[in-house]
Amino acid sequence: NLSKAGLYDILLNERDKPKYLILDELDKIDDQANLAGLLSLMERGLITETKYKRHRQIKLKCWVFASANRINRIPTELMSRFVTLNFKPYSDAAFMDVCVNVLTKREGVNESIALYITKKVLDELISRDVRDACKIARLMKGDTKTEVDHIVGILKKQK
């Protein structure tokens, strides 16, 4: 929970000072108080909260890890505090493995249809985004290749 209270409650916990802070989708954080808190934590190791005549400050040795889809949406002053790792897109084989696994385990699709959806996403939608395959699975009412073809046809027209 990255509400202002959520972040500060986690970081200002006297008993369980976190050694690691892992943030998913950092590019979607637009709350200035959270961004200021992260800047202070990463720059000086300090987290400070002042509200309702109460002042709390704590010194933390905390490693911050974050992921983002669009790093251009992260303020430059925050970005400069991270070591940036860029990952290559999935190979076709890796995408097939990951996608079939997600479709069968998370979406409940049978393996042969999961493989069919995956091939359609790769070959016809020209995508390596697992979310595209999940979209198709969630739009299906049954589990036939004809239905997959119909949904893929609609999605292709939208691109």
pLDDT digits (tens, 9 = 90+) for 99-108: 999 999 999 9
Question: Given this model, what pLDDT does residue 17 score?
Answer: 80
CA distances from 20 to 64, 108, 114 (A): 6, 33, 36
pLDDT score of 54? 75
**Cα-based distances in Å from 157 to 117, 130, 133, 153:** 17, 19, 16, 6
Strand 54-59, strand 63-66: pairing: unpaired
Q: Is the pLDDT of residue 20 over 70?
A: yes
pLDDT one-digit tens code per residue, 133-148: 999 999 999 889 999 9
Name the residue with higher pLDDT: 84 or 57.
84
**Stretch 152-158: mean pLDDT:** 94
Query: Does position 15 have pLDDT exceeding 80, yes or no?
Result: no
Task: Report the C-alpha gap between 98 and 157 in whole angstroms.
Answer: 26
DSSP-derived letter for residue 26 is G
